[in-house]
Structure 1
Amino acid sequence: MTPDTANIACRFVFDGAVLFLWGSGAYLWLLVPEGLSDCIWAKLRAVRVAAVALAVIATVVVLPVRCAMLGNGWADGLDGDVMTSVLTGTSVGTAWAWQAVFAAFLLVVTLLPLRQKVAATAVVSALLLCGLSLTGHAAMNDGWLRVLHRANDMVHLLSGGAWVGALIPVALVLSRLGDSTIGADALTALIRFSTAGHVAVALVILSGVANSLLIIGGLPLDWSVPYQRLLFLKIALALLMMLIAVFNRYGLVPRMGRSHAAGKALAAGTVGELVIAACVVALVAWFGTLEPFPG
């Protein structure tokens, strides 16, 4: 495996883990009634532990990977001088330091009481996502335009994560709709997700368009450039997710009280959104390492 490929893998693992931790934590903290929230949070324990572990491991691994990329291959990956130069003299090093600090905080959060743990997981994961805008295409401009681009990128990451990261707990909430004790809370949680989802999707669209304008000056229509080709595919998949979400909300949710099949279709649609979301994260991890213009 080349350092470039390893970097893409680290980006995919880290981004996917933190998007899940942010979206699920924010949803269960802010939108789900407390009793149901505690139940779903407990059900997610294995997934949460895995996500924290993957985020920390990806953080540890990506530093020597970046050193290998900036140096002369894997031989420089663990070279002390190269590592020091990267940490102290590059934006990559600054971004990694931010990532390392808050990845360590994720481990500390696991020791907190339950309700504090949910909120703290959401906050720390949000800060980790914001740190992704410190490097890459969001940092390609100078002055106020760089500040604007980074802020817009943060909005894109947080709104997208609030949507896709909440899909796993939403699937678990769906399974509680028929429960005589917490079914009403489950319905409340789904309605709140739907309302918040409208806002999140709108922000994803607006910030995504702004990102495209800031990076390439328009839409990704030059398919001879791998970056633009992959970005176009990402946009197409995101639009497909939005269509599924709209159909779920307006086609299936109103029928759930009258049709058992509607509930099954809604669950299947949510799983479909999750699969597409994973593909989107993989694409972003890939084209985020590419040049947006022809070489």
Structure 2
Amino acid sequence: MLPSLYIALRFIHFTALMVLLGSTISCSLLAPQAFKPVLIRRLKWLWQSAVWMTMLSAVMLLCAQAGMMGSGWSDAVNPQVWLAVLGTRFGSVWLWQILLGVVTVAVLLLKPRTLQSMLLILAAAQLILLAGVGHAAMREGFVGGLQRLNHAVHLLSAGWWAGGLLPLLMCMRMAKKPRWRGAAITAMMRFSRYGHLAVAAVLLSGVVNSLMILGWSLPLDSDYVRFLLMKVVFVAVMVIIALYNRYFLVPRFNRAQAATKQFIQLTWLEVILSVAVILAVSIFATWEPY
């Protein structure tokens, strides 16, 4: 039961961080200045929920790890076992993850003028920290540093891409309103333009990450490899959808209403696939590669 809870919490934590990163990038960097307050309000439920889920899941992950490291549920709430976990490599990284989660909630409650920018930085920092645990931390020295750097790029670019899909759908919805049509289209075009970089970074860093973990071998009898290949298929379909949307449907928006409807439907499919990818990673990243 605890391992299943741990996987579920990993899924929630990764998803919340990516949603927070994608939302804040859209609101603070991609939206035109006059459109920013409007988009922030429309997405308020999304990024506020992500902030709380990030912090709570980080704390609960520590408890779940303590339970698995100890003797079960009783040790999951045992402060002495928590301290033992915090003394491990995982714990030393996770302590900062929890602290940043608490700081993120504090920033949300204080509501500074630069709220979105600060949330963006904090979400990015927490995603970067995640590169310090798991298989990305399997190597030491210079090569280990490169592996963690590559994984950090992978997480950030994935958060930028997948986390930006719901704001993209919100912009599509707001583009129907004459008052915000121009600004919403500008935000969407910026997401599309710079999203190419995110997709390329996801693919390149993903290949490098797999090579650094598995080498050139691909043991198909390994559950890790099977789930990894499933992830690859999901991501490949997402790339195809993104390219089809951008280069086939978008040029037809003004000529065919059906193109807009299909764009929205396929983007929702992309959202579902991104959730499936995060779930798959949350599962197989807890397994040994061989």
Question: How high is the TM-score relative to the length of structure 2?
Answer: 0.96
1:56 alignment partner in structure 2: 55
Matched residues in 1 for 2:227 and 2:101: separation? 29
1:74 is matched with which residue? 73
DSSP 3-state at the match of 1:72: coil
Tell me, in whole angstroms, the C-alpha distance in 1 between the residues paired with 2:134 and 2:171.
Answer: 36
**1:166 is aligned to 2:164:** yes
Q: What is aligned with 1:260?
A: 257
Gaps of 5+ in 2: none
Cα separation, 1, equivalents of 2:271 and 2:287: 25
Q: Matched residues in 1 for 2:176 and 2:255: separation?
A: 13
Alignment partner of 1:222 out of 219, 223, 231: 219
* Of 197, 203, 206, the match for 2:204: 206
Q: Give the deviation of 1:161 after TM superposition.
A: 0.5
Name the CA distance, whole Å, in 2 between partners of 1:77 and 1:234. Answer: 31
Amino acid at match of 1:225: S
1:272 counterpart letter in structure 2: L
Give the CA deviation at 1:59. 1.4
Aligned partner of 1:148 among 143, 146, 149? 146
Query: Tell me, what secondary structure is at the counterpart of 1:134?
Result: coil
State the alpha-carbon separation in 1 of the partners of residues 143 and 112 from structure 2: 41
Distance of 1:114 and 1:44 partners within structure 2? 17
Name the stretch that deviates more: 174-183 or 116-125: 174-183
Matches of 2:270 and 2:97, distance apart in 1: 28
How far residue 78 of structure 1 moved from its aligned partner, in angstroms, is 2.1
Select the residue among 90, 96, 100 that pairs with 1:92. 90
Contact 2:2–2:64 under 8 Å retained in 1: yes
1:5-20 equivalence runs, <5 A: 5-20=4-19
Residue 123 (structure 2) aligns with:
125
Listed as ranges, the gaps of 5+ residues in structure 1 are none
- Report the identity percentage: 36
Does residue 1:195 correspond to 2:193, yes or no? yes
Matched, 1:233 2:227: no
The C-alpha deviation readout for 1:37-68, integer Å capped at 9, x for no partner, is 22121111222222222112211211111011
Q: Work out the CA distance in 1 between the residues paired with 2:109 and 2:53.
A: 18
C-alpha distance in 1 between matches for 2:231 and 2:201: 16
Change (3 A) 1:139 1:41: same
Identify the residue that residue 288 of structure 2 maps to in structure 1.
291
1:95-141 deviation line (CA, Å, top 9, x unaligned): 21111111011112213547511111111000111111111101001
C-alpha root-mean-square deviation of aligned residues, in Å?
Answer: 1.3
- Asked whether the 8 Å contact 2:55–2:102 carries over to 1, the reply is yes
Separation of aligned partners in 2, 1:131 and 1:188 = 32
CA distance in 1 between partners of 2:115 and 2:93 (Å): 25
Q: Which portions of structure 1, spanning 4 or more consecutive aligned residues, are displaced by more than 4 angstroms?
A: 112-115
Q: CA offsets, 1:164-189, max 9 Å, x none?
A: 10111110101122322221111111
In structure 1, give the amino acid aligned to 2:46. Answer: V
Helix, strand or coil: the match of 1:289?
coil
Q: Does 1:39 align with 2:38?
A: yes
1:105 aligns with 2:103: yes
Q: TM-score of the superposition, structure 1-length normalised?
A: 0.95
Give the corresponding residue for 1:83.
82
SS of 2:114's equivalent in the other structure is helix
Supply the distance in 1 between the matched residues of 2:143 and 2:240 (Cα, whole angstroms): 33
CA distance, structure 2, for counterparts of residue 57 and residue 193 of structure 1: 30
Alpha-carbon offset, residue 155 of structure 1: 0.2
- 1:168 and 1:41 map into 2 onto residues whose CA distance is 13
Q: What is the letter of the counterpart of residue 62 of structure 1?
A: L
Counterpart code for 1:218: W
Out of 262, 266, 269, the position equivalent to 1:269 is 266
How many Å separate the matches in 2 of 1:191 and 1:79? 51
- AA aligned opposite 2:64: V
